[in-house]
Amino acid sequence: MSSGARVIEVEIQNETHQTQERLRFASVPRIGEGIRLREPDGCWASYDVLDVWYQKAEFGDVWMPYLHVCMTPDEQPAAALQPAPPFFAEPRSPAWGEEEVPPFTG
């Protein structure tokens, strides 16, 4: 029998990027813990574990762990943290497709 460390394959559902991927861990992270994941641009970012659950696998009597994660607020790009424009913004002409269309009275 091998004395090497065992790994657990975990499916991660990423709320920030709306993606799913499978990664291997030495232990399943718990709710509230932080993990580091590689971003699509290749940089590393911190994520918070929002939820952990287990589902029975399609094969044998095996339960697969799933994580639901979201990027830690401090890691989100500065552009995403910009304040929303004021409610009373200057009037503008409608863009194409935004013209008011009269209701159908059939």
79 — pLDDT class (breaks 50, 70, 90):
very low
Residue 91 lies in a domain: no
Give the Cα separation of 105 and 80 in Å (integer). 42
Number of domains in the chain: 1
**Whole-angstrom distance, CA of residue 17 vs CA of residue 48:** 13
pLDDT (average), residues 34-44? 91
φ and ψ of 73, to 5 deg: -50, -35
Domain assignment of residue 33, yes or no = yes
**Contact yes or no for 24/6 (Cβ under 8 A):** no
DSSP three-state, residue 78: helix
Q: What is the mean pLDDT of residues 2-9?
A: 76
3 part of a folded domain: no
Nearest to 34 by CA among 47, 43, 53: 47
Considering the domain boundaries, does residue 88 fall inside one? no
- Give this prediction's pTM: 0.63
